[in-house]
Chain A
Amino acid sequence: MDPTRELIDQVLLKTAIAAYATGALVLFAYFLTRNGLYRKIGAPLAILGCAAQLVELGTRWWMTGIWPLTNLYGSLSLFSALGVAIFVIFALRYDLWLVGGPVVAVSAIALAYGTTWNEGYMPAVPALQSYWIKIHVPIVISAYASFMVAFCVSLIYLMKAYGETRFAARRGAVRGIAATAGGPPVDLTLSASTYAATPALGSARIDTPATSQAAAAGDALAQWLEGLPSLARLDVMQYRVIAIGLPLLSLGIITGAMWAKEAWGAYWQWDPKETAALVSWIVYAGYMHLHTRPEWRGVKTAWISVLGFATIVFCYLGVNIWISGLHSYKM
């Protein structure tokens, strides 16, 4: 392999891994301590890692003329970069930096694992030689990345909801979290006398009363949980990211079908990969439906998001590694 290429590749790759590893640690520290300084250091590190990765993939393509997403390394690399990119967009838009620790950690692990599949520069096998690969693969990977971010939000949701059930149980009054997740009616009644007394909404909304009570009584864990966004807010975030992922996954399946139709004459071949993607699609379609029901919205839908991401991991890695097929990258 050309040593200059090798060097550039390695420098960018190592920069990305180092930035993610430290970024994940720092953002985890932010998650644990809520010290804004950690966020100020962690966020640029995450952005640096993401940029280094995208530049690395771009230079690979530019220098070799070979589309870099034809093997598991390229694909996992894009997955981690897009995961971080989607997280950063959400964090900037909705002040969601608290989720950064898990997201950047998953990205770092995905990238580090991806490097074990880095064979160097290989032209694609005939089945993958098509312009469709440039359309289909990035779309599917961005869907996976969205679901990964949603999964991290769901974990935090479940953690906070679990804390609430524990504190409520301790208080001797276990209340269904599903009900709390929907939230008590928000009274925005505005008049000069009541407006000031109206609790702030959004991130500061209290929908974990037992935790709040324990926090007020000085429980350190409860105080820490209190500092997380409200369950309602976490649920809305999780929904919003999945609402990006599901249409992307649908588009990914559709472009895959168009590619298959053009290349192989049949738009659907029950290939293990496309079929596994269909399983994920069904799970997230189920999520969307149950999320319309107040009695399901909350802990149950958060678990479905976790299940959905498990099917994504199976579809992405499980099928590639254990089950061969048109998509296994190793024909």
Chain B
Amino acid sequence: MSDSRAPAAQAPALRAALARTWGETVALFAHVPFGVSLLAIWAVLTLIGVIVEQGRDPSYYAGAYAPPLARLILRLDIENIYHSPAYIGVLGLIICSMAAATFTKVIPRRIPRLNPVKIDAIPLHARLRVAGDPDAVRARLAAFFSSRGWQVRKRAFGGTEWTFADKSNWARRGVLVAHVGFVLIAVGTTIYWATGYSGQFAVLSGQTATIPQNGTKVALERFAYRIDPVRTKAGIVYQPIDYVSDAKVTARDGVTRDAVIRVNHPYDANGTLIYQSTYGFAIDFRVTHDGVPVPGPDHPLKEGEGFVVDGTTRAIQYQRFVGTIDRATGMPGADPRPNDPGVIVVAFDGDRPIGQALLPLGVPVDLGAGYKLEAARYVLYSGFQYRYDPGIPVVGIGAFVLLAGLCVSLYFVPARLFIIVRESGAGTSEVGVAATTVKGYDVFEDRFREIVEALRRDAPSVPHANEAAPAPVLGAV
């Protein structure tokens, strides 16, 4: 029996402990410096991703960094930091922190109830003595502030009547709007992570490529580019002006359509956007041994691709296309357009690079031991990126909500005046005014001074309570 009662007795204690832990966690998350620390971690992780090039293969990091650093980059997912658990985790914590702060701090603090205050305890305060009994003075004060665009409300607390005047009260919700905007962006991004996809592919002229995730087919009929020579202070610069692919696209609906995919103008294939991102020159390499063709690569190679020369330990890598070989020097010329084209290849023995050469197109070169290599012809290829992102509308709305929230909270300073009027004898009243804003006092100091001066002008202080001079009247509005 005692066994069954013990857990029952422990349950409230456990619940209390859990409630306390929950309360402490919420309080920690709602603490602004904690939230800002999370923002700082987010900034640092983001900055690391700017400095360390993202998405390269491991050999790149091994080459670019000292071995311990390269290992660290790969082990900690720094090469793909924006999709790493740490990055996504920090964003999740920021959202939690923002939510905790919004409910426990922003709403109570930024949208406070109308409550009486100790006028003199508020740094921005003033006291004036004016003519008239309290009711009349209150009425004149209400008219004074209303006519200047303040929202005036009256409340009685324990028999004392208070007047509250608010400016830009609506703008107190700006923070909420900004926080909601940020959450919407996070939701939209999550929708993409959960259901969207993206990638890239290259198609040679005359060939077809398929987007693996949805089966969309892109048949490239023709690719064209325009590069113009431009005379600048530094000499002639060959400036790319345009590139465009003529293709036939068969989207998910099974219908084939003619598509002109031009740089800066993505093609929409049933919700998947296909963007003209790059182009290049694929090369048809041929190898002979003692004049007899030997098997070479089975497709034209793109920049960076290579092949092993059949029957040897040697490999050839196609490094880069040279549009124009300078006739005088035999070196790559500045004009990237294929006038007198060639290719730069690197030869390897096993993994070891043994030399680099510039091969004019159509001219076989000796590789030694009876082998000859020829870059026979080039085929233009077009490089595309694609993306299906159903989260875009949510992100878009979130971005504008966030911006609206920022503008509201940063350009408008909601201020509240607390006004109390007390009888002070000889037909006069004492007016106490204090001001609070959501951004501290300094930001409102000048404005408060102007308000008090306007009040003073309209209702000059009674020179001295015991002086006989007639008390001035709070000016007409």
CB-based contact A189/B127 at 8 Å? yes
Chain B residues touching A, range: 35 or more
A217 within 8 A of B: no
Q: A123-B241, A129-B264, A251-B403 are in contact. Are A201 and B395 (CB under 8 A)?
A: no
CB-based contact B392/A261 at 8 Å? yes
CB-based contact A190/B400 at 8 Å? no
A226 within 8 A of B: no
3 tightest A-B contacts by CB? A265-B273, A243-B410, A265-B266
Residue from the set A243, A250, A265 with the largest chain B CB neighbour count within 10 Å:
A265
Q: Which of A123-149 contact B (CB under 8 A)?
A: 123, 125-127, 129-130
Chain B residues whose C-beta falls within 8 Å of the C-beta of A187 in the assembled complex: 125
B265 within 8 A of A: yes
Binds B, one of A29-37, A98-106, A163-171, A281-289: A281-289
Q: How far is the CB of A283 from chain B (nearest CB, A)?
A: 6
A174 within 8 A of B: no
B445 within 8 A of A: yes
Q: Which of B35, B46, B47, B445 contacts A202 (CB 8 A)?
A: B445
Q: How far is the CB of A77 from chain B (nearest CB, A)?
A: 16
CB-based contact B124/A186 at 8 Å? yes
Q: Which of B28-59 contact A (CB under 8 A)?
A: 32-33, 35-36, 39-40, 42-43, 46-47, 49-51, 54
Binds B, one of A10-18, A39-47, A267-275: A267-275
CB-based contact A323/B40 at 8 Å? no
Q: Which of B36, B410, B452 contacts A286 (CB 8 A)?
A: B36
CB-based contact B36/A289 at 8 Å? yes
B406 within 8 A of A: yes
Q: List 30 A-B contacts (CB under 8 A).
A: A122-B232, A122-B239, A123-B230, A125-B239, A126-B263, A182-B441, A185-B123, A186-B123, A191-B127, A191-B129, A191-B461, A195-B456, A201-B445, A201-B446, A202-B445, A232-B442, A247-B403, A247-B410, A250-B402, A262-B264, A265-B273, A265-B274, A267-B389, A270-B49, A270-B54, A270-B82, A279-B47, A279-B50, A282-B43, A292-B32
Q: Which of B239, B240, B385, B463 contacts A266 (CB 8 A)?
A: B385
* Extra contacts besides A265-B274, A279-B46 (17): CB < 8 Å: A118-B233, A127-B264, A129-B264, A182-B442, A186-B441, A188-B449, A201-B449, A202-B449, A247-B403, A250-B403, A261-B392, A267-B392, A270-B49, A282-B42, A289-B35, A292-B32, A296-B33
Q: How far is the CB of A295 from chain B (nearest CB, A)?
A: 9
Q: How far is the CB of A156 from chain B (nearest CB, A)?
A: 16
Q: Which of A1, A119, A264 contacts B275 (CB 8 A)?
A: A264
Chain A residues whose C-beta falls within 8 Å of the C-beta of B49 in the assembled complex: 270, 275
B157 within 8 A of A: no
A263 within 8 A of B: yes
A246 within 8 A of B: yes
CB-based contact A294/B389 at 8 Å? no
Q: How far is the CB of B39 from chain A (nearest CB, A)?
A: 5
Q: How far is the CB of A303 from chain B (nearest CB, A)?
A: 13
A175 within 8 A of B: no
CB-based contact B32/A190 at 8 Å? no
A188 and B264 alpha carbons, distance in the complex (Å): 61
Q: How far is the CB of B218 from chain A (nearest CB, A)?
A: 14
Q: A267-B392, A296-B33 are in contact. Are A279 and B230 (CB under 8 A)?
A: no
Q: How far is the CB of A190 from chain B (nearest CB, A)?
A: 5
A297 within 8 A of B: yes
Q: A188-B126, A264-B266 are in contact. Are A120 and B232 (CB under 8 A)?
A: yes
Q: Which of B242, B265, B442, B456 contacts A235 (CB 8 A)?
A: B442
Chain A residues whose C-beta falls within 8 Å of the C-beta of B33 in the assembled complex: 290, 293, 296
A182-222 near B? 1/0 per residue, CB < 8 Å: 11111111111101000001100100000000000000000
CB-based contact A192/B463 at 8 Å? yes
Q: Which of B417-440 contact A (CB under 8 A)?
A: 438-440
Chain A residues whose C-beta falls within 8 Å of the C-beta of B46 in the assembled complex: 275, 278-279, 282
A111 within 8 A of B: no
A311 and B39 alpha carbons, distance in the complex (Å): 15
Chain A residues whose C-beta falls within 8 Å of the C-beta of B234 in the assembled complex: 119
A205 and B46 alpha carbons, distance in the complex (Å): 41
CB-based contact A279/B445 at 8 Å? no
Q: Which of B10-37 contact A (CB under 8 A)?
A: 32-33, 35-36
CB-based contact A126/B39 at 8 Å? no
B399 within 8 A of A: yes
Q: How far is the CB of A73 from chain B (nearest CB, A)?
A: 11
Chain A: how many interface residues by the 8 Å CB criterion? Answer: 72
Chain A residues whose C-beta falls within 8 Å of the C-beta of B389 in the assembled complex: 266-267
CB-based contact A188/B452 at 8 Å? yes
CB-based contact B123/A183 at 8 Å? yes
A257 and B392 alpha carbons, distance in the complex (Å): 11
A273 and chain B: residue at smallest CB distance: B50
A92 within 8 A of B: no
Chain A residues whose C-beta falls within 8 Å of the C-beta of B51 in the assembled complex: 323
Q: How far is the CB of A284 from chain B (nearest CB, A)?
A: 10
Q: A247-B403, A275-B50, A286-B40 are in contact. Are A188 and B124 (CB under 8 A)?
A: yes
CB-based contact B39/A192 at 8 Å? no
Q: Which of B42, B124, B263 contacts A127 (CB 8 A)?
A: B263
CB-based contact B443/A276 at 8 Å? no
Q: Which of B128, B228, B440, B448 contacts A182 (CB 8 A)?
A: B440
CB-based contact A125/B240 at 8 Å? yes
Q: Which of A126, A190, A263 contacts B241 (CB 8 A)?
A: A126
Q: How far is the CB of A167 from chain B (nearest CB, A)?
A: 21
CB-based contact A265/B128 at 8 Å? no
A319 within 8 A of B: yes
B407 within 8 A of A: yes
Chain A residues whose C-beta falls within 8 Å of the C-beta of B406 in the assembled complex: 246-247, 250
A236 within 8 A of B: yes
Q: A126-B243, A190-B126 are in contact. Are A265 and B400 (CB under 8 A)?
A: no
Q: A122-B232, A185-B123 are in contact. Are A192 and B462 (CB under 8 A)?
A: yes
B231 within 8 A of A: yes
B237 within 8 A of A: yes
Q: A192-B464, A265-B275, A265-B387 are in contact. Are A319 and B39 (CB under 8 A)?
A: no
Chain A residues whose C-beta falls within 8 Å of the C-beta of B126 in the assembled complex: 188-190
Q: How far is the CB of A89 from chain B (nearest CB, A)?
A: 15
Chain B residues whose C-beta falls within 8 Å of the C-beta of A288 in the assembled complex: 410
A232 and B123 alpha carbons, distance in the complex (Å): 13
Chain A residues whose C-beta falls within 8 Å of the C-beta of B36 in the assembled complex: 286, 289-290
Q: A1-B231, A250-B406, A278-B46 are in contact. Are A243 and B39 (CB under 8 A)?
A: no
A8 within 8 A of B: no
